[in-house]
Amino acid sequence: MDEQRNDEQIVRQILYGDTEAFRVIVGRYQKQIFNMGFRFFRNENDAYDFVQEVFIKAFQKLGSFRGLSPFRFWLLKIAYNTGINSVKAYKSTSPIDDVAIPSAEKSPEEKHLNEELRKLLLDAVNTLPERYRICVDFYFFYGLSYNEISSMTGFPVNTIKSNVFRAKKELRDLLSGTIAEDYYEL
Amino acid sequence: MNCEDHISHYLKRESIDRLPFLVKIHLLWCGKCRREIPALRKNLAAYRGIFPYAMKRDMSDSIMRSVCKMLPYKRGAVSESKWIISGCILLGSIFLMPFNNSMQWVRDSFGEFFDIPLTIVMGMAISLYITLFAASHLKNFGLRSKIDRILAKEAQ
């Protein structure tokens, strides 16, 4: 039943003392937070620690959630701020592509296609300045609008626009002649 | 505008789902773009909801273990805004009392000696309000965790 409830209803339930309902929130967003952690730390173990830290922080701050913006946005903002603060003291040791792991998909064909798409997007994103890469993640994977990304990261909308545009252009060049392009042309 | 300009025009837009009108017109007579743009659109849309890095471990249990160690939320029956409004009314009524006609009537009827018991009653009312507010907002004062720690020690 909890699965059908929206985030805000679950938050209300937690605030009325049903701590176990927080498990639904964790289940819904752990992948997204993990991916953000991976973008910040480029390391699987640190990304897992990041997930733990973000959710505990979110639980502690849940009382301050006023519902003025969607819960998902509120949570991502906490995650982004946590990541920015931790990454200042963190020096990465391994390049991100060495540790990238493809997710499991439904059919082998889809799996292959999505793996290729992911790889291409990572290549396209890696051509951007490091600090703006997270903006492209927010745009593509999290489906956030330019304004939402801007209010989360503090970057001007035009900067986000131009970086996303650069990533899209790069992606278009990378996609030409790949199976991803052929797949949709069929 | 050539094909490249049209594609750039499409890519510059925030929404990848909608094709701009000029691009739609261009697609009517450009076979190359008719193949490329819809394929590009589908590829870009395919990124939604997929993530580049897969989680091998489910973190729910370890997070819930940490969360369950914390105190569950207990939302008070009285909302914050009601606390603030009632506090303002209480304070306002105390400060405005000397300027009120009824206060003058009390003074005329019972003399100046009535001021002291009235002040005591008002003082008690405001003390009671502050006590109730503090008791229901212990967490905000950082006292709740201390009290729980003391109680836990005593229980041991």
pLDDT tens string B23-54:
888 888 888 888 888 888 887 777 776 777 77
The domains of chain B are located at 3-45, 80-155
Please spell the DSSP secondary structure of B92-147, one letter per residue: HHHHHGGGSHHHHHHHHHH-GGGHHHHHHHHHHHHHHHHHHHHHHTGGGGT-HHHH
CATH architecture of A103-186: Orthogonal Bundle (1.10)
Asked if the domains at A1-92 and A103-186 fall in one CATH topology, the answer is no
Is the pLDDT confidence value at A98 over 80? no
pLDDT tens string B73-128:
766 667 778 888 988 988 888 888 777 777 777 777 777 777 788 888 888 988 99
Q: Which of A14, A143, A184 sits opposite B43 (nearest CB)?
A: A184
Contact A80, A149 (CB under 8 A): no
| Mean pLDDT, all residues of chain A | 79
Determine whether the interchain pair B51/A180 forms a contact, defined as Cβ–Cβ distance below 8 Å: no
Residue of B nearest to A53 (CA): B63
Q: What is the ipTM of this complex?
A: 0.75
CA contacts within 13 A on the Cβ side of A114: 22
Contact B63, A19 (CB under 8 A): no
Which positions 123-142 of B are in contact with A (Cβ < 8 Å)? 139
- Chain A partners within 8 Å of B79 (Cβ): none
C-alpha closest to that of B17 among B47, B54, B45: B45
Residue range A1-92 forms a domain whose CATH class is mainly alpha
Is the pLDDT confidence value at A122 over 80? no
Interface with A, mutate which of B15, B53, B81 (most A CBs under 10 A): B53
Q: Which of A59, A62, A141 sits opposite B51 (nearest CB)?
A: A141
As given in the structure block, the two tokens for residue A61 are: 């701050």
pLDDT tens string A136-175:
888 888 888 899 899 888 889 998 998 888 888 887 877 7
The domains of chain A are located at 1-92, 103-186
- Chain B partners within 8 Å of A26 (Cβ): 59-60, 63-64
Hey, is A161 helix, strand or coil?
helix
Place of tokens 């990261």: A153
Q: Which pLDDT score is estimated for A17? A: 82
Determine whether the interchain pair A185/B35 forms a contact, defined as Cβ–Cβ distance below 8 Å: yes
* Highest mean pLDDT pick, A64-78, A99-113, B41-55: A64-78
Q: Which pLDDT score is estimated for A91? A: 56
